[in-house]
Amino acid sequence: MMNNPAQDILRNLECAVVVATCGRLEMLRTVSLPSVRRQTHIPLVVVMVADGFAIPLEVIAGFVSLLGKIEFVLLQNSRAGGAAGAWNTALDYLTGENFNGYVAILDDDDAWDENHLSANLIMAASAKANTVISGLRMVKDGVPCPRSLPQGLTDGMFLAGNPGWQGSNTFVALSALKAVGGFRDGLPSLNDRDLAIRLLRWPGIRVAYTGQWTSTWHLTTKAPALSSPRSLEKLRGLRWFWQIYGSEMRPAETKLFFSRAKELFGLGRDEILADKTDQPPHSLPRGDFGVEA
């Protein structure tokens, strides 16, 4: 029997799935976790972190049954509330377990195509990359929205907006996440852009692109979410992001930053700049993973 090169590659690489949840249990049960179960490459473990609430035992049992033979670990967010603290909690756990592979993040209401993990792992191996980016479709209230496949990303692209690297297509070696400090505890939103900037500025970064659409972002305007228009989390995230990176923005980037905030989230420049006392915990060029909570 002839060897399959792709199978040989996948056999030698480890991948952990990290899911932070703020309580969208039905979406976990019907959308995100089934997409993990369908992967052609089975991950080593799924680490779920509940952010500030308890998941009922019967729901946990359902998740375990749904995932089948995939190891399932449930944690409580032990750091600052929010997605960043939850993700860092998972990274802390993986470090303690001596995990040394790739971390694939999946939002609790998003889904992966069945080849998402395999496509990313194969590209990581062939390109010797510690960061792999694939296409994340956007479906808004059930309607697909056109967007371009991410290619040739630079840190400056994330100052004013996001060219397509978000939560559910984040696929990064744990060693690279540790080098930049993972996520910034307490940052209410824009965590994807903050991480992308810091990773792309890291001298050790090696990025590859699958050139495929392998994941889907389900955006809804009919339920509370970080991306909901005029949400407090989005307002504070934009405010903190501006305080961290605003001094770096050129006039064109500044204009786009504020016009995008107004167009997408209904938040004007005056509102974002209004509260001078609302300050981010720190403005260091690294996150808080590897720092004691």
The domain segmentation of the chain, as residue ranges, is 5-219, 232-274
pTM (2 d.p.): 0.94
Mean pLDDT along residues 218-241: 79
Q: What is the pLDDT of residue 293?
A: 57
Distance, CA of 98 to CA of 37 (rounded, Å) = 24
Distance, CA of 217 to CA of 144 (rounded, Å) = 10
pLDDT-derived band at 138, boundaries 50, 70, 90 = very high
Distance, CA of 171 to CA of 175 (rounded, Å) = 12
Structure confidence by residue, pLDDT tens digits, 267-291: 999 999 998 888 998 889 999 998 7
Q: How many CA atoms lie within 13 A of 25 on its CB side?
A: 13
CB burial of residue 160 (10 Å; 0-12, 13-18, 19+):
buried
Q: Is the pLDDT of residue 292 over 80?
A: no
Alpha-carbon Rg for the chain, nearest whole angstrom, is 18
Under 8 Å between Cβ of 61 and 32: no
Q: What is the pLDDT of residue 228?
A: 62
Structure confidence by residue, pLDDT tens digits, 35-91: 999 999 999 999 999 999 999 999 999 999 999 999 999 999 999 999 999 999 999
Distance, CA of 285 to CA of 181 (rounded, Å) = 9
What is the average pLDDT value for the chain, to the nearest integer? Answer: 93
Per CATH, which fold does 5-219 belong to?
Answer: Spore Coat Polysaccharide Biosynthesis Protein SpsA; Chain A (3.90.550)
Considering the chain, what percentage of its residues have pLDDT values greater than 90?
Answer: 83
Q: What is the pLDDT of residue 17?
A: 98
